[in-house]
Amino acid sequence: MKLVITGGAGFIGSNLAEELSKEKDNEIIIVDDLSTGKMENLRKFNQNINFVRGSITDLNLLKRTFKDTDYVFHQAAIPSVPRSIKDPIASNNANVNGTLNVLVAANDCGVKKVVYASSSSVYGDTPELPKRERMTPNPLSPYAVTKLLGEYYCKVFTEVYGLKTVSLRYFNVYGPRQDPYSDYAAVIPRFINRVLENKPPVIYGDGEQTRDFTFVKDVVKANVLAAESDANGVYNIAYGNRVRINELANMIMKLMGKNLKPIHDAPREGDVKHSLGGIAWAKKNLGYEPRYSLEEGLRETIKWFGLGKLV
């Protein structure tokens, strides 16, 4: 099959590309402008892929690239709540206009299905847990709005044009290749990097907020299942359990053999207090079943960071 991954040099996209490249008959094309992705993420398996440097805001580029493509895995985005608050126009251009371009190009080129990377942030701070797909979205940041609009565009392209689409609402994805050095780094790589430097983790707020962390290999599997299935629509992709950020910091320090007192900083704008994904719908319709517990995923992630022995 011919498979295109937008944002394939990024964290999730490169893990997906690595898995798909194991099938030697697959022709894999990555479209990435390297604004957040890195070529080094593709180093170990780049002989099996074709790389196109370009932006999803370039519709003509997408139409050329999508020709004769079977499936498009749309991972490209500016993936940051704080960055979207700082620069909402850039987030909108990439995440909304770019997604519309992907759908137009896919439809014009006869792509079988588009699998779209959405986000649990679309739920906002609704008190009901777990978050289920039937709930009314309540986005609290420009980033969350852009991801929700992408879902709506997917739905419309399915209903109006007959293009099959699946939107996967990721819950706090972590794992190998996640950048700890970005100003907008996610909590797990940021904690690991601080502890590696023998510095205490920095927790925004009181640390009693909870998150449902999903290991990247489970997310990759969900993408493959979504492409292979007959399903359309929106699905939560989560582990299905939550942990307090204070507990997470302690777990990481224990695994790394450190005992440091976390520093608490002011809460971040746009952050929700609690998050937990209901995955019954994904289990039923996609056959999705997370394989990695938080501890197992953290162990693999810490090993990737090259931190030596784990306790």
- pLDDT tens across 100-138, in order? 999 999 999 999 999 999 999 999 988 899 999 999 999
pLDDT tens digit sequence for 52-95: 999 999 999 999 999 999 999 999 999 888 899 999 999 999 99
d(CA 236, CA 169): 5
Which residue is associated with the tokens 């430097």? Answer: 197
Q: Which domains does the chain have, with CATH numbers?
A: 2-171+215-240+278-286 (3.40.50.720)
Per-residue model confidence (pLDDT) at position 309:
44
Per-residue model confidence (pLDDT) at position 270:
73
Per-residue model confidence (pLDDT) at position 122:
96
How much is the average pLDDT of 253-282?
Answer: 91
Residues annotated as catalytic are 143
Per-residue model confidence (pLDDT) at position 150:
98
Per-residue model confidence (pLDDT) at position 183:
66
Q: Is 7 helix (H, G, I), strand (E, B) or coil?
A: coil
Q: State in Å, rounded, how far the first CA of the chain is from the last one.
A: 43
- Does 143 have pLDDT greater than 70? yes
The model's confidence at residue 44, banded by pLDDT at 50, 70 and 90, is confident
Q: 41-45, 217-221, 224-228, 232-236 — which is least confidently predicted?
A: 41-45
How much is the average pLDDT of 145-156?
Answer: 98
pLDDT tens digit sequence for 288-311: 999 999 999 999 999 998 764 444
> What's the mean per-residue pLDDT of the chain?
94
Per-residue model confidence (pLDDT) at position 184:
64
Per-residue model confidence (pLDDT) at position 310:
45
Strand pairing category for 214-215 and 173-174? parallel
Per-residue model confidence (pLDDT) at position 156:
98
Determine the Cα angle at 169 with ends 164 and 172, to 5°. 150
Per-residue model confidence (pLDDT) at position 219:
98
How much is the average pLDDT of 192-200?
Answer: 93
Tokens describing residue 217: 């290999």
147 close to 167: Cβ distance less than 8 angstroms: no
What's the whole-model pTM score? Answer: 0.94
